[in-house]
Structure 1
Amino acid sequence: MSKQCEAADCKRLAAALCHHCDHHVCPKHFNEHIRLIQDELHPLTDRINELLQNLTRLTLDKLLDKWLSDLEKWRDHSHQLIDNIYARKQREIQTIGDKYERNFVLHKHEQSKVIEIVKQHVNELIQEGDATYKDIEQIRMKLDNIETCLNAFQHDFVNIEIEQLKIEQDSIQVKSNMILKSIDLTILTNESKMLEAFDSSTGTLACNDQLLLLDQPSKLYLYDKELKPVGNIDWPNGLIFDYCWCQHLELFIIISHTNVFTVDVSTCEIKLIESIKPNGSFYRCTSSDNTLYISHSEDGSQINEYDLSSFEFVKRWISPKTCQLDEWIGDLRHNNTNKRFGLTIRNRSKNEFYFQIRDVQMNVISSLTIADACGLRLSLLPPYNEWLISGSCNGDCLIQITSDGKLKSRTSYNIKIRNAILFRNYILAIRTVAGLYFHEL
């Protein structure tokens, strides 16, 4: 049966499906849609010219000036901090002086009287000329007592303990996060560090610029680049299905089967997001600049969007936009740099796995079938917008995908892999059934 054109107020029969808007349209409106697409090229040309101008203006001196300016701000801030402390302590000293001024006057007067008595006694001995050794020793003892009392009074009236200001050289670290060559996983070196850890079937792993988060039974552990523990947080909320770092909030977001939590690693605070209610079983999560995305563990997996400023529901993507009814989404990651999604999808009927790159409207940009695959986890390989897929039927494979969705390499690993992520731009962190491994790239 012919469909009617879906353009507003149009009564004509549809002649084609427009892939630009996913609507059935008549020839007239199809041509209009083609013109609209062509019109979108002009803003792209303006953007290209703007990028070229920005690149032309960029110089090494300008780039370095920014960081030198930050260093200058740190110095000014440190000086200001010292000046503020100095001024505050000045006021505290003056307050003590005002408070105990009467005590000072009385003590000074009493000591003057004692000294006058001793002075008068010495003058008498001089005039009489009959001082004995015992008289001399008694006078010395009195003078020693007066001096001791005076010194103690001066010391106790205002007592200042000043610790030496400690400014470590490492308090400011100057480095570059530039990767001068593309990551090559085919020449992966032997692990430099290994940590025994409880095996997790969900294989979750995430990091920010400084710390790596690893879940263990009833605990969340944080590790630095040396694989040294720097903190742990009690976790009483059951099995974790996924977590990701949210740069917008500077928090980790964790999802269980039915709940969503945020974790602040600076305060060790775990917060339940009560506004997010399950519409099925939560499975994977990722975030963009201002949106949280959560996929569900079901055939024809849905993806829900939530506003990060309020965690209010925004939109629900369903089959067939997300995947077909006999498929489910194995993993989901968003690249904030180029605004692209990466998805691993399993087709249950064909028993096939494939990887897709999509835009923010869930339109498929590229699709790649992954042979001999199972339980695929997904992560990003910046700065070249590449993708890393970990796992296979034997769970022992690292698959590197280019930014345009082509297979770059497939590397075997000697232990069953649960997940793998790039940490601090030069460490490949691999979670296996035996523990956590760090490889320096």
Structure 2
Amino acid sequence: MSQSCAIVSCQEISRVLCYCCNKNLCLNHLSNHRGLSNDQPNSLTDQINILNDQLNRLNIEKLVDDSRLKLDKWRDNSLKKVHHFYENKCEELDRYYAKQLRQQKKEVDQLYKKLSEINEKQDTIQEDSINELETMIVDVKQKINDIEQKLIPINTRPLSIDNSLISIGEIKIQGFDLKTLLSPYQTCHFSENSGFALASNDEFLLIDLNHDLCLFDKNLTIIKQSIWNYGAIHDICWSSALASFIVITEKSKAFLVNGNDLSIDSIEEMQNHLWMSCTCSNSLLYLASLSNAIIEFSLLPSFYYRRRWDPPITCKKDEFIKDIACNNEKLALIVAIFSDNIAHLIVRSLTNFNQLFSIRLDMRNLSYYLPIRCCPLKNNEWLVVEANTSQLFHVVEDGKLEGKLTYDKSPYNAVLFGSNILVIRTDATIHFHQILH
């Protein structure tokens, strides 16, 4: 049976089948079609030629130089940190020798005093005193010789550099998976009941330990340590806008702790409130109070109050907010009903405080005193840790429970350190877990 020409407006009977496009054409349209078919490869050739020319015009040296600016900045910042560390050790060395010299100066002064006592009693024979003084002189002389001739032992280790500190090319970030959580690759032990607060930025982890603030690097090495005399710490969070940690205490106080030298400043605008939990999002700070209110403060250009939400918006009458955490313009609340042993993870929008989702977490025997903490993860996901029954809950962006795990010890707190380290704090240990991507 004959077919019509493939051109819609043509009523002629087709005479030819084009093997290039598998269309039936009449004789009149065959010539036009042949021209179009010839033009198409030519057009594709032109496009490829343009791409080839564009590729040949690329200035690789300029691209490399521009990209190296970021590496140069990293190098300069790293050298500053090495120099700062070196200067601190030089000062420590100065203090050591100054202390040794002060001690020997005291002993030399004692020799003068002893000699003066002997001279005052020249009318009596003091052979024992003279012998004692001679022995003292020999002892002090030996100590001074030791200082002069024997250098203080300085133990150094080569600076190890983790190759993963710099990644060139796009990093494929996969979802967090509790099933692939490895055993901790490093663990720090400390005395029990020393607190459970911790917070991190991309470089350091801040922990309260036995009335001290300790700044750890990713090798679990204490970089800086400072005495804390401002009461028990309820919570700590990191403010990227201020480049500082924010600390709230049981004494209704709030403090700024510098992320480099741990210098401490009081935040007067936030005093005299019993804050229980804190978290930051860009230049905003959110605090949960004992009355279950959530207050929003602006951090820049100065501290000032912005908004407040109270029950029953934050939680119902018989509920209690155990923790809050920010993650990409979202605020997570851990809300517990102790009488019914029920806990929910509720996630709200920071724009209008509307509830995005709520999920009930299967927790048994909730404790009023033991913590339930929420750790923000990548990809708008959350990790909830519950100390009383040692449970870990992984909740994904749409509010579904992705995984559940019983930890080998009671987890008091957890924080994501960088992109691939999960830090979990128990009553007497801090575990560093590598997250697989």
TM-score where L is the length of structure 2: 0.60
Shift of 1:197: 2.2
Shift of 1:66: 8.1
1:345 is matched with 335
Structure 2 residue corresponding to 1:330, chosen from 288, 297, 322:
322
2:396 is matched with 402
1:95 is matched with none
Structure 1 residue corresponding to 2:310, chosen from 280, 302, 318:
318
Shift of 1:285: 0.2
1:277 is matched with 271
Using the alignment, how far apart are the partners of 2:346 and 2:195 within structure 1? 21
**Number of corresponding residues:** 285
SS in 1 for 2:68: helix
Please state if 1:380 is matched with 2:380. no
2:386 is matched with 391
Structure 1 residue corresponding to 2:242, chosen from 249, 259, 264:
249
1:90-239 correspondence runs (5 A): 174-175=166-167, 178-200=171-193, 203-239=196-232
| Structure 2: gaps spanning 5 or more residues | 1-57, 77-158
User: What code does the residue aligned with 2:342 have?
Assistant: E
Cα pair 1:372 1:392 within 8 Å, conserved: no
Using the alignment, how far apart are the partners of 1:224 and 1:284 within structure 2? 24
- CA 284–76 in structure 1, closer or farther in 2 if over 3 Å, else same: closer
1:263 is matched with 257
User: What code does the residue aligned with 2:319 have?
Assistant: E
Shift of 1:393: 3.4
Using the alignment, how far apart are the partners of 1:240 and 1:408 within structure 2? 32
Cα pair 2:325 2:332 within 8 Å, conserved: yes
Please state if 1:423 is matched with 2:427. no
User: What code does the residue aligned with 2:376 have?
Assistant: L
1:363 is matched with 354
1:437 is matched with 431
For residues 356-378 of structure 1, the C-alpha deviation after alignment (integer angstroms, 9 at most, x for no partner) is 11011222110111112533100
Shift of 1:181: 2.4
- CA 70–433 in structure 1, closer or farther in 2 if over 3 Å, else same: same
- CA 178–202 in structure 1, closer or farther in 2 if over 3 Å, else same: farther
Please state if 1:289 is matched with 2:273. no
2:42 is matched with none
Shift of 1:261: 0.5
SS in 2 for 1:325: coil
SS in 1 for 2:270: coil
For residues 142-191 of structure 1, the C-alpha deviation after alignment (integer angstroms, 9 at most, x for no partner) is xxxxxxxxxxxxxxxxxxxxxxxxxx996995326835322211232222
Shift of 1:71: 2.0
Cα pair 1:179 1:425 within 8 Å, conserved: no
1:24-43 correspondence runs (5 A): none
| Structure 1: gaps spanning 5 or more residues | 1-60, 80-167
User: What code does the residue aligned with 1:359 have?
Assistant: S
Using the alignment, how far apart are the partners of 2:74 and 2:312 within structure 1? 55
Shift of 1:277: 2.8
Structure 2 residue corresponding to 1:69, chosen from 63, 66, 71:
66
Cα pair 1:322 1:362 within 8 Å, conserved: no
Using the alignment, how far apart are the partners of 2:416 and 2:235 within structure 1? 17
For residues 245-265 of structure 1, the C-alpha deviation after alignment (integer angstroms, 9 at most, x for no partner) is 111111111001201101113
- CA 234–406 in structure 1, closer or farther in 2 if over 3 Å, else same: same
Shift of 1:302: 0.5
- CA 321–438 in structure 1, closer or farther in 2 if over 3 Å, else same: same
SS in 2 for 1:275: helix
Cα pair 2:319 2:337 within 8 Å, conserved: yes
SS in 2 for 1:331: strand
TM-score where L is the length of structure 1: 0.59
Using the alignment, how far apart are the partners of 1:316 and 1:73 within structure 2? 41
- CA 317–232 in structure 1, closer or farther in 2 if over 3 Å, else same: same
Using the alignment, how far apart are the partners of 2:431 and 2:324 within structure 1? 23
Please state if 1:302 is matched with 2:297. no
Cα pair 2:286 2:294 within 8 Å, conserved: yes
User: What code does the residue aligned with 2:290 have?
Assistant: S
Using the alignment, how far apart are the partners of 1:406 and 1:244 within structure 2? 26
User: What code does the residue aligned with 2:312 have?
Assistant: P
SS in 2 for 1:368: strand
Using the alignment, how far apart are the partners of 2:341 and 2:162 within structure 1? 53
Cα pair 1:330 1:346 within 8 Å, conserved: yes
Cα pair 1:239 1:256 within 8 Å, conserved: yes
User: What code does the residue aligned with 1:390 have?
Assistant: V
- CA 318–76 in structure 1, closer or farther in 2 if over 3 Å, else same: closer
For residues 400-440 of structure 1, the C-alpha deviation after alignment (integer angstroms, 9 at most, x for no partner) is 00012110100111111101122121111110122101111
Cα pair 1:305 1:314 within 8 Å, conserved: yes
User: What code does the residue aligned with 1:343 have?
Assistant: L
User: What code does the residue aligned with 2:414 have?
Assistant: A
Cα pair 1:218 1:236 within 8 Å, conserved: yes
Tell me the percent identity: 29
SS in 2 for 1:69: helix
- CA 295–401 in structure 1, closer or farther in 2 if over 3 Å, else same: same
Shift of 1:216: 1.0
Using the alignment, how far apart are the partners of 2:161 and 2:187 within structure 1? 26
User: What code does the residue aligned with 1:376 have?
Assistant: I
- CA 408–249 in structure 1, closer or farther in 2 if over 3 Å, else same: same
Using the alignment, how far apart are the partners of 1:400 and 1:318 within structure 2? 28
CA RMSD of aligned residues (A): 3.0
Using the alignment, how far apart are the partners of 1:230 and 1:303 within structure 2? 34
User: What code does the residue aligned with 2:249 have?
Assistant: S
Shift of 1:70: 5.0
